[in-house]
């Protein structure tokens, strides 16, 4: 019973008591013209109290029945709405499944039914946008996705869908602008930044790529494998910008980028190679050789040693490179050591050390190794004693260098 009902019940009782006390004597009630009943004041008082209670109970039950009817009607409407919503959701799910399985026309038919009954169905509006985008109607697709955002502007799923539509429509500026908005609204979210970086990658905008990558990395520190992967990506982006600077003749910025790429990931063999190339180009062969040797130490990429060997063609004493080759040659792993054998033998021949070349080849040469046999034949020539000016040696040298720097041996 509510406070309102209690209040009226008490009020009615007090009024009854008040009337009873105004009539202290016996009260006479006429049942008919000839029949009368005399009631004492006490009885009248009790009757008044009882009447008040009955009145109060009557009010309570009347109100309760009214409320029960209202609840029943509200529940009925709610159930109807729920069934209607479930029917729409079922149609939407079917449309989504048809779209994912490639049946776009069927998906469009079902999603139109949903929108006909519920024009503000956000997921259906977004799905229709995706279907239209897949059908090539990108402008119309964007209009439906924008309509969904009018109802729910912060819906990140719809925002991403619209960004994808802009991307496929080659509206790059709109694509990037929308991704920036998503990032501003969700500064700790990783996905918007990754998609923004990928958008910059399509433009080869290395400045913004690297700025975005620097925002991505702190958000991934608790995921070690992914963090290391993105650190390698940063190194590759720095290398790409350095290569671009090098092509534009900007040697100092290129050197800075290559150094940062190595600092981010010291096994970036391309960065080691190009860093040495820049120093060689700027007239610093000793520094170049030092960078290539450091690159081989970090990456074990034989291409670094090939660069050193090419730079050593005019250098008298290649002893440090000879020692590296000798350490790398392992009789127990002849296949892995084969290229080092060829490079060492070639190095001896280029520096007119035919006997040393012959010795290393005879110690490590296996059958059916064409380049090794050709180098051995060069070492046996008495006329030029392995002179690097011999045309045949030049051809063999190019073949050895090409074999040594083949793709499978220079992973990045």
Name residues of the chain where pLDDT drops below 70: 1-6, 8-10, 12-13, 15-31, 33, 37-49, 51-53, 55-56, 59-60, 79, 81, 313-317, 365-368, 382-390, 407-412
Q: Which residues pair with 39 in a beta bridge?
A: 27
Residue 242 confidence (pLDDT): 96
Rounded alpha-carbon distances, angstroms, from residue 252 to 265, 268, 331: 20, 19, 43
- Looking up tokens 């290393």 gives 360
pLDDT at 381: 77
CA angle in degrees (0–180, nearest 5) for 73-79-85: 135
* Listed residue (183, 199, 190, 267) closest to 223, CA to CA: 190
When computed from its CA atoms, the radius of gyration of the chain, rounded to whole angstroms, is 45
pLDDT value, residue 4: 62
315, 278 contact by CB (below 8 A): no
Count the neighbouring beta carbons within 10 Å of the beta carbon of residue 153. 10
CA separation for the pair 286, 293 (Å, rounded): 11
3-state secondary structure of 28: strand
**Closest to 20 in 3D by CA, of 46, 52, 53:** 46
- Identify the CA nearest to 126 among candidates 115, 136, 113: 115
d(CA 380, CA 386): 8
Rounded Cα distance between 341 and 344, Å, is 5
Q: Can you give the pLDDT at residue 249?
A: 93
At residue 2, the pLDDT reads 60
CB atoms within 10 A of CB 87: 13
Q: Is 136 helix (H, G, I), strand (E, B) or coil?
A: coil
Question: For the whole prediction, is pTM greater than 0.85?
Answer: no
CA distance 64 to 4: 13
Question: Which pLDDT does position 262 carry in this prediction?
Answer: 96
pLDDT value of position 334: 74
Query: Which pLDDT belongs to residue 389?
Result: 47
Query: Residue 201, class by beta-carbon neighbours within 10 Å (0-12 exposed, 13-18 middle, 19+ buried)?
Result: middle
Place of tokens 């006909």: 116
Spatial distance between the Cα atoms of 365 and 392, rounded to a whole number of angstroms:
20
CA distance 240 to 412: 13
């Amino acid at each position: 019973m509510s406070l309102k009902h209690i209040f009226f019940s008490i009020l009615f009782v007090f009024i009854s008591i008040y009337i009873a006390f105004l009539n202290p004597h016996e009260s006479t009630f006429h049942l008919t013209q000839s029949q009368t009943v005399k009631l004492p004041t006490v009885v009248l008082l009790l009757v008044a109290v009882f009447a008040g209670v009955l009145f109060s109970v009557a009010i309570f039950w009347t109100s309760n029945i009214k409320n029960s009817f209202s609840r029943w009607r509200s529940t009925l409407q709610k159930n109807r709405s729920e069934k209607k919503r479930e029917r729409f959701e079922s149609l939407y799910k079917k449309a989504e499944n048809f779209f994912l399985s490639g049946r776009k026309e069927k998906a469009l038919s079902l999603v139109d039914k949903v929108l006909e009954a519920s024009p503000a169905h956000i997921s259906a509006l977004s799905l229709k946008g995706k279907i239209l985008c897949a059908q090539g109607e990108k402008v119309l697709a964007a209009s439906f996705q924008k309509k969904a955002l009018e109802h729910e502007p912060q819906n990140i799923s719809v925002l991403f869908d619209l960004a994808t539509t802009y991307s496929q429509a080659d509206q790059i500026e709109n694509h990037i602008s929308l991704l920036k908005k998503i990032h501003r609204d969700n500064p700790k979210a990783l996905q918007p930044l990754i998609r923004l970086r990928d958008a910059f990658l399509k433009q080869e905008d290395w400045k913004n790529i690297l700025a975005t990558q620097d925002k991505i990395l702190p958000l991934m520190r608790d995921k070690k494998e992914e963090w290391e992967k993105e650190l390698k990506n940063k190194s590759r982006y720095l290398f790409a910008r350095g290569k671009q600077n090098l092509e534009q003749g900007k040697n100092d910025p290129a050197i800075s980028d290559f150094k940062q790429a190595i600092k981010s990931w010291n096994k970036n063999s391309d960065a080691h190679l190009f860093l040495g190339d820049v120093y060689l180009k700027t007239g610093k062969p000793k520094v170049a050789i030092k960078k290539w040797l450091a690159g081989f130490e970090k990456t074990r990429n034989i291409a670094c040693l090939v660069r050193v060997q090419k730079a050593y063609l005019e250098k008298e004493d290649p002893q440090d490179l000879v020692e590296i080759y000798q350490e790398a040659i392992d009789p127990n792993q002849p296949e892995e050591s084969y290229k080092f054998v060829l490079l060492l033998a070639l190095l001896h021949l280029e520096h007119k050390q035919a006997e040393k070349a012959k010795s290393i080849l005879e110690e490590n040469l296996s059958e059916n190794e064409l380049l090794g046999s050709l180098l051995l034949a060069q070492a046996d020539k008495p006329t030029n004693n392995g002179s690097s000016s011999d045309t045949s040696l030049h051809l063999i040298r190019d073949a050895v260098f090409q074999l040594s720097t083949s793709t499978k041996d220079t992973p990045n």
